[in-house]
Amino acid sequence: MKKILLLALFSIFSFANENYINMKNCENIKLSQYTVLVSCHRIDYLIEYRNVDDEEKDTIKKITAVTTKDQRIIKSIGK
């Protein structure tokens, strides 16, 4: 019983460690003052910021996920 428990814990930790390592392979490329390209796990995220006067408001204008086959808008303020 202890061997099965140890094997299960080992497999869970190895899976979590593998996913953690993959998360570190993301790249950030600043295209302009208000645009950033984040490339992660075969998906590119184009993040467009907006200039706001109030710091409490959300500065993200639009987030677009781009793959080799299509592109989808994840968030947009509609302006």
Q: Could you report the average pLDDT of every consecutive run of 10 residues in the chain (79 residues)? A: 71 60 74 91 88 81 91 82
Residue 50: phi and psi, rounded to 5, are: -130, 155
How far, CA to CA in Å, does 10 sit from each of 1, 18, 24, 43, 78? 14, 12, 21, 30, 47
Range of the domain at 17: 2-76
Number of separate domains in the chain: 1
- Yes or no: say if 46 and 34 are a contact pair by the CB < 8 Å rule: no
CA gap 26, 43 in Å, rounded? 10
pLDDT at residue 40, as a whole number: 84
